[in-house]
Each structure stands twice: as C-alpha cells, then as structure tokens.
C-alpha cells in the first residue's frame, strides 16, 4: 500500500499543538504522544481491508441476504472526533452472493477516513452494488458521535441513517429488511 500520510509532519504538528495548548511536549507523560498520534493516524488512514470482491454463484435467486451488528469506528470530518456505527447490509441475491467476511471488510474500508455517517452508509451501499452488479442493496447504520456527546450540546444520542435502492424501495422488502435488523 502507498503511504498516504506524512508521519514526520503529523508528529511535528502534534508537538506544535501540545505547545499551543499550553503544555510541554517534552514532559514525561507527553514525550511519546506525537509518535503515538502519528502512528494512530497512519494505522487509521492507511487501513487495508483485504480482498473485497469474493463472490460465489447463487443457487437460489431472489433470496434476501442480511448481515447485521458490524461495529465500525470512524472520524467526523467536521470535528475530527470519533463516531461508531453498528452497520447492517442486505441485498437480494441474483446470480451471485458475496463472501460473508466481505461485508465487514467493506464497512471498515469506508469507515477508515474522515467522513460523515450519511456518506459512510452511501459509500458502503455503492461498493456492494458495484461488486454484486445489482441495485437491490440496503445499508443501515445506527451510531453515536462523540462530537455531539462530549462537546457542544453534550448529549448522548443515536443517529440512524440508511441507503435503500432497487427492490428495497418497495414496501415488502423494506419492511422485511427493517424487521431483520431489529432482531
């Protein structure tokens, strides 16, 4: 994988930030903080999810496949604070099915950047649609954003967003999907 972040620059900026916050980056508790934060950003941004497009021939057409409860962490692009989401992904199988681990790999791939929950859900949906070659995809995420919980209004909450396409725009498949993810 190609390096995306400038590790040395991030370390330097964190030292500068610590000084601007009125602290001493050379004191015992902070000496390694710039390196640790630069390492975190490298691990987060340069995350490699592995192979995403392993599919298999489908033996049964028109079957809904739903994977739920995949927790991902991301970073709010407005405040650079973390948020988590429990992601559910469903599709209606046509001529191929997606390997089970690929759902989580796709969700994590799109969570490892500065983003918004709405964008995350949309990106996951687009990737699954592209891999399977179908619009019959639904993605749902419920999460909490620390930018609201720990600053500003300081209120715990749950934000819910969804992307529904193809047959999931019809009442029956939509209701089935929402029943499945609530179980």
Encode pLDDT of 115-171 as tens digits.
999 999 999 999 999 999 999 999 999 999 999 999 999 999 999 999 999 999 999
**Most confident of the ranges 51-60, 92-101, 110-119:** 110-119
pLDDT tier for residue 94 given thresholds of 50, 70 and 90: confident
**Which residues pair with residue 162 across a beta bridge?**
140
Domain residue ranges of the chain, discontinuous segments joined by +: 7-45, 55-182
Q: Is the pLDDT of residue 59 over 80?
A: no
Strand extents, DSSP E, the chain: 55-57, 64-76, 82-92, 96-98, 114-115, 137-145, 159-164
- What Rg do the C-alpha atoms of the chain give, in angstroms? 20
pTM for this structure? 0.94
- What residues contact 104, with CB distance under 8 A and at least 6 apart? 67, 70
- What residues contact 14, with CB distance under 8 A and at least 6 apart? 25, 33, 34, 37, 38
Residue 68: predicted pLDDT: 98
Residue 1: predicted pLDDT: 56
Q: Number of H helices and number of E strands within the chain? A: 6, 7
Residue 183: predicted pLDDT: 74
State which fold the 55-182 domain adopts.
GTP Cyclohydrolase I, domain 2 (3.30.1130)
């Amino acid at each position: 994988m190609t390096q995306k972040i400038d590790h040395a620059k991030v370390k330097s900026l964190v030292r500068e930030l610590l000084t601007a916050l009125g602290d001493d980056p050379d004191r015992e508790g902070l000496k390694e903080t710039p390196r640790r934060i630069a390492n975190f950003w490298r691990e987060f941004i340069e995350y490699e999810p592995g192979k995403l497009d392993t599919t298999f021939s489908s033996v049964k057409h028109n079957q809904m496949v739903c994977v739920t409860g995949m927790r991902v962490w991301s970073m709010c692009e407005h405040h650079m604070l973390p948020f988590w989401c429990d992601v559910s992904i469903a599709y209606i199988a046509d001529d191929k099915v997606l390997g089970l681990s690929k759902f989580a790999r796709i969700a994590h791939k799109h969570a490892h950047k500065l983003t918004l929950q709405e964008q995350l859900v949309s990106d996951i949906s687009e990737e699954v649609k592209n891999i399977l070659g179908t619009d019959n995809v639904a993605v749902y995420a419920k999460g909490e954003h620390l930018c609201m919980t720990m600053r500003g209004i300081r209120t715990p909450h749950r934000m819910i967003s969804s992307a529904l396409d193809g047959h999931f725009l019809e009442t029956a498949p939509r209701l089935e999907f929402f029943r499945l993810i609530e179980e």
